[in-house]
Amino acid sequence: MIACFDIGGSAIKSARAGSPADLTVLGSRPTPLHDFDAFAGILAEMIAEAGLPEGAPAALSITGVVDPATSRIKVANIPCIDGRALAGDLAVRLARPVTVANDADCFALAEAMEGAGAGHRVVFGAILGTGVGGGLVIEGRLLQGAGGFAGEWGHGPIAAWRAGTPPVEVPRFPCGCGQTGCVDTVGGARGLERLHRHLHGRTRTSREITDGWIAGDGAAARTIDVWTDLVADPLALVVNFVGADVVPVGGGLANVHALIERLDAAVRARILRRTHAPLVVPARCRFEPGLIGAAILALREDADAAA
């Protein structure tokens, strides 16, 4: 039995797991942002409330990037843990083994083992939420690249500057990562809203845009047309490069199944492999994929240590 945590800038969710399929969500607490002692203390309290045996492992899915070479984490929205060798620091505080992984990586692993990617050899998990992220799982193993950045297809100056039918010019928007023209600036929910403002001079939420598109609104349809081009091109490149069998999509935009179906058709038209089977599909782990992915990682490490 292990403790699992899904940690964001506003809340820490906890669960107890005996296996990825045997996971009980226990509750949530506000995330301490500026006090590491308080942060570690909250985890200790939640572990105690879970009734886990002494020394049972803990696993964290977190909105940050862990460098596999140094074990140090970069997480902008939780300053008290930024730059720490978090797994080691928490292992000392909590007196138990601790695994820490990026939340998009945990999502990808959950989908590969328990979701839409089950039974597939190469799974690229794509996040289309507030922004754009991803993770890569090959033969059931999470790929952790240099600096911890494997799967981060949302960043890098690769977004097209012309898109749609007929083509329209799209600015190279500045990105929070410091680059200009990242897929993240146009591909997630905030990017969709930014794109709509640029095309039509009106502010709409991503939900209003997708609902309008489905209802036949012309302005929303034009936005979706341009958005599809901007996202499908780099995602097709990812599929060609890694040889993905399937691309489960999570995040808020994945809830609009018609949008994912349109993106799937556009990606399959752009890749080298010809297939009539769906490739880009909605995620199936609707229930806490971060916790499921963290559980998979920790249970594997626990089994490896016992072997």
pLDDT (tens place) for every residue of the chain, 307 residues total:
899 999 998 999 999 988 877 888 888 999 999 999 999 999 999 999 888 888 899 999 998 888 888 989 998 889 999 999 999 999 999 999 999 999 999 999 999 999 999 999 999 999 999 999 999 999 999 988 767 778 899 998 999 999 999 999 999 999 988 899 999 999 999 999 999 999 999 999 999 999 999 999 999 999 999 999 999 999 999 999 999 999 999 999 999 999 999 999 999 999 999 999 999 999 998 778 989 999 998 888 767 666 6
Residue 49 lies in a domain: yes
What is the pTM for the complete model shown?
0.91
CA angle at residue 1 from 82 to 21, to 5 degrees?
A: 95
Claim to verify: residue 132 and residue 186 sit in the same structural domain: yes
Claim to verify: residue 262 and residue 298 sit in the same structural domain: no
Claim to verify: residue 45 and residue 84 sit in the same structural domain: yes
Answer for the pair 134, 257: CB distance below 8 angstroms, yes or no.
no
Claim to verify: residue 201 and residue 276 sit in the same structural domain: yes
Q: How confident is the model at residue 159, as a pLDDT?
A: 92
Claim to verify: residue 133 and residue 269 sit in the same structural domain: yes
Q: Which amino acid is at 133?
A: G
Domain that holds residue 225: 119-282
Around Cβ 212, how many Cβ atoms within 10 Å? 18
Tell me the CA distances in angstroms from 168 to 218, 235, 290, one per residue in order. 15, 20, 37
Residue 110 lies in a domain: no
Q: Which two tokens stand for residue 69?
A: 């070479």
Claim to verify: residue 262 and residue 300 sit in the same structural domain: no
Q: How confident is the model at residue 76, as a pLDDT?
A: 83
Number of structural domains in the chain: 2
Q: Report CA Rg, the chain.
A: 20
Q: How confident is the model at residue 51, as a pLDDT?
A: 87
| Residues 205, 225: Cα–Cα separation, whole Å | 17
Q: How confident is the model at residue 1, as a pLDDT?
A: 84
Q: Which two tokens stand for residue 225?
A: 């047309």
Q: How confident is the model at residue 68, as a pLDDT?
A: 86
pLDDT tens-digit series, residues 77-99: 899 999 999 999 999 999 999 99
Claim to verify: residue 124 and residue 263 sit in the same structural domain: yes
CATH number at residue 301: 3.30.420.40
Q: How confident is the model at residue 297, as a pLDDT?
A: 87
User: Helix 257-268 to helix 206-215 angle, to the nearest 10 degrees?
Assistant: 80
- Looking from the CA of 143 toward its CB, the CA atoms found within 13 Å total 18
Q: Which two tokens stand for residue 207?
A: 């939900």
Claim to verify: residue 93 and residue 124 sit in the same structural domain: no
Q: How confident is the model at residue 288, as a pLDDT?
A: 85
Q: 271 forms bridges with which residues in the sheet?
A: none
| Residue 14 Ramachandran class (φ > 0 left, ψ -120 to 50 alpha, else beta) | beta
